[in-house]
Amino acid sequence: MDKSTHFFGTSVFGQLISLIDSKIITTSAKKHNSDHYVKKFKTKDHLISMLFCSFAKCTSLREVSGAMLGLSGKTKHFQLNHIPKKSTLSDSNKRRDCDVFGEIYNKLLKQYGHHISDSRIKDVINKQVEIIDSSTISLFKDILKCVGRHPKTGKKKGGIKLHATINADETAPKMVWLTSAATHEHVLLNSLKHNANTIYVFDKGYNDYKAFDKFSQTDTGFVTRIKDNAAYKTLNDCKIEEHIHSGVEKDEIIEVQVKYENNTRPLKLRKVQFYDRTLKRRFEFLTNLFEMRADLIAAIYKLRWQIELLFKQLKQIFPLKYFLGDNENAIKIQIYCALIANLLMTVIQKTLKRKWAFSNLVSFCKIHLFNYIHLFRFLEHPDKDWQKTYDELMQPSLF
């Protein structure tokens, strides 16, 4: 029988690491001075070790260092120059600035953005839709202040809040902020860039009339849900045309009061009431898009579910339940590396012609992490060698 057509000279993990240009790591490390006074365990070694943790789903420092020590002599394939000991990795997670990993993630996203984008939504409304949301990752220790009621024990778990912005036509975060869980969502609205060609979508936890006023002044669109206790005055009831989706029950122009330090000023907004027959729920949307169809506003808000799926994917597939350090910097490094791993797998999924479920793709890479098979060739035709062997066995013998 012929040799496998999928055999390759570099392991699967090495092929994943090769997707990261070394120049990106070098320039990021230089910018953040993350290799200053470091003799052996450089930023690149640190990144590769933490990516191994993400792909192999390691849950402790001992597991990472022990598994990598077993690969001694085979590290050239995945560009690791120094195998870390448990204490070395622990010290690096504590001392090396986590922002260097955030920088690497942002540069990779810029490099591979065209692989993961899909312009169909932008083509329909001629604007870029960006979704904003946050997700709290609970910690067993009180490392970062958490929110919510005090439990009966009187002790609260710590928590870190992951704030993210994604384009509606992409599946990887465009911008990421990491804060304590006590940080309110609406604070992040001040960090957004105002652009007349952008529509921001977020839930009612981000309601901030001052931010809405700035959006309106800069012609930046937004779609959110109105709070149940919101105070407003109805100025006009808009007529619902026959061609509008029948789920639209009301379309109103309303006025809210924006409170500043020295004065209060009125702000005109639009409120759309929509009944979802599938969920059997009634929604009330708040927006400054006065010219857009009411049913399209409801459809735009529905896109927000994509970011919920992203958070679910990150928490379930990558190891964000167990952290390798008990300090804020170590936790942020692990989250950034999980985001990098998620981005690399997303690029592979989007590049393949054959459809793979994301969870199956990650599981495959975990099982074959150090097998020497051509990743893309195998994923496109996983049963090629098996079918070839089966056909040879089924051929009738001449003797």
The segment with the largest mean pLDDT, out of 62-71, 88-97, 375-384, is: 88-97
| Gap between the Cα atoms of 389 and 373, Å rounded | 17
Find all residues with CB under 8 Å of 70, minimum gap 6, and list them. none
Closest C-alpha to 350, from 110, 118, 111, 115: 115
Q: 361 falls in which pLDDT band (50, 70, 90)? A: very high
| Gap between the Cα atoms of 227 and 84, Å rounded | 51
Query: Which carries the bigger pLDDT value, residue 257 or residue 137?
Result: 257
Q: Give the sign of the dihedral formed by CA 340, CA 341, CA 342, CA 344.
A: positive
| Gap between the Cα atoms of 311 and 164, Å rounded | 9
Q: What is the token pair recorded at 339?
A: 């985001």
Q: What is the token pair recorded at 276?
A: 């979802």
pLDDT score recorded for residue 387? 52
Q: What is the CA 152 to chain-centroid distance, rounded? A: 34
Q: Is the pLDDT of residue 43 over 90?
A: yes
pLDDT score recorded for residue 147? 52
**DSSP 8-state symbol, 89:** H
Q: Is the pLDDT of residue 161 over 50?
A: yes
pLDDT score recorded for residue 398? 44
- State pLDDT tens for residues 98-156: 999 999 999 999 999 888 876 677 777 888 899 999 888 776 556 555 555 555 555 55
Question: Across all residues in the chain, what is the average pLDDT?
Answer: 85
Query: Which carries the bigger pLDDT value, residue 331 or residue 158?
Result: 331
pLDDT score recorded for residue 144? 59
- State pLDDT tens for residues 204-248: 888 889 999 999 999 999 999 999 899 999 999 998 888 888 899
**% of the chain with per-residue pLDDT over 90:** 47
Q: 169 falls in which pLDDT band (50, 70, 90)? A: confident
Coil, strand or helix at 351:
helix
